[in-house]
């Protein structure tokens, strides 16, 4: 079997801070951040693929699994091709994928999860608030409307949260996502230390 991409998955409800944390983590040496939301938003919105994405995202729904995983594979291949990601050296921070159990199954032969960082926040109102601010700041059509945001949470509960059960419990790192960006970042880095030590000593052997 071909070598699987070593990855750390960022997992958590919409608005919990995956994107912000993922960007910061992706700046660290030896890591590459890959967010499927960014990947989709990077599509030409006039193209057929871009239209397909908007059809789902503007309703707070997930893009179909087959399309998502195919596009993701192409995106990773492009990152390798353009030198942004070297699978033999870098660890991928996967942000926003897998979002369904079917996606997790499709990714099984492609990725080797080293850890699943589960960002947790109980305060739904706080997350809705964060998402509205972000929508205004970034001009995101999916999060501009509260009904769409609420739908995103329902989809998360129904389709995405079962994904955690797909992975070995020993891989899951529970992180409290309430606090400043820096506080949460420190918690994640602390939790990842054991993973990195193991992996980095593993790769240098
Ligand atoms: P995000 O920026 O991660 O909140 O994603 C924005 C939108 O992109 C989501 O609401 C979905 O419509 C779509 N999307 C992102 N990742 C996935 C995925 N893994 N599977 C299906 N749809 C996704």
pLDDT at 49: 93
* Domain range annotation of the chain: 5-193
- Cα(120)–Cα(118) distance, rounded to whole angstroms? 6
Answer yes or no: are the C-beta atoms of 72 and 49 closer than 8 Å: no
What's the 3-state SS for 119-133?
EECCCHHHHHHHHHH
Structure tokens belonging to residue 72: 């993701």
Residues in the chain, overall count: 205
Q: Specify whether the backbone of 142 is left (phi greater than 0), alpha (psi in -120 to 50) or beta.
A: alpha
Domain 5-193 is classified in which CATH homologous superfamily? P-loop containing nucleotide triphosphate hydrolases (3.40.50.300)
**C-beta 37 within 6 A of ligand 1:** yes
Minimum-distance ligand 1 atom for the alpha carbon of 95: 3
pLDDT digits (tens, 9 = 90+) for 21-46: 999 999 999 999 999 999 999 999 99
What's the pTM value of the predicted model, to 2 decimals? 0.91
The reply to whether ligand 1 has any atom less than 6 angstroms from the CB of 142 is yes
Mutate-to-test residue for ligand 1 from 99, 102, 161, highest number of ligand atoms within 8 A of CB: 99
Q: For the residues 95-123, what does the mean pLDDT come to? A: 96
């Amino acid at each position: 079997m071909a070598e699987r991409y070593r990855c750390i998955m960022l997992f958590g409800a919409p608005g919990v801070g995956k994107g912000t944390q993922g960007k910061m983590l992706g700046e660290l040496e030896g890591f590459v951040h890959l967010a499927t939301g960014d990947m989709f938003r990077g599509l030409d919105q006039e193209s057929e693929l871009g239209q397909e994405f908007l059809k789902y995202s503007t309703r707070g729904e997930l893009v179909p699994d087959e399309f998502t995983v195919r596009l993701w594979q192409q995106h990773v291949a492009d990152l390798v091709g353009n030198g942004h990601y070297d699978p033999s050296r870098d660890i991928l921070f996967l942000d926003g994928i897998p979002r369904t159990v079917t996606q997790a199954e499709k990714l099984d032969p492609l990725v080797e999860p080293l850890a699943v960082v589960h960002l947790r926040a109980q305060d739904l109102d706080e997350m809705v608030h964060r998402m509205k601010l972000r929508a205004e700041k970034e001009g995101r059509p999916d999060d501009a409307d509260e009904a769409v945001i609420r739908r995103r949470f329902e989809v998360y509960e129904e389709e995405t949260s079962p994904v955690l059960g797909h992975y070995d419990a020993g891989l899951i790192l529970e992180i409290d996502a309430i606090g400043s960006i820096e506080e949460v970042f420190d918690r994640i880095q602390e939790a990842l230390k054991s993973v990195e030590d193991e992996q980095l000593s593993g790769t240098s052997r």
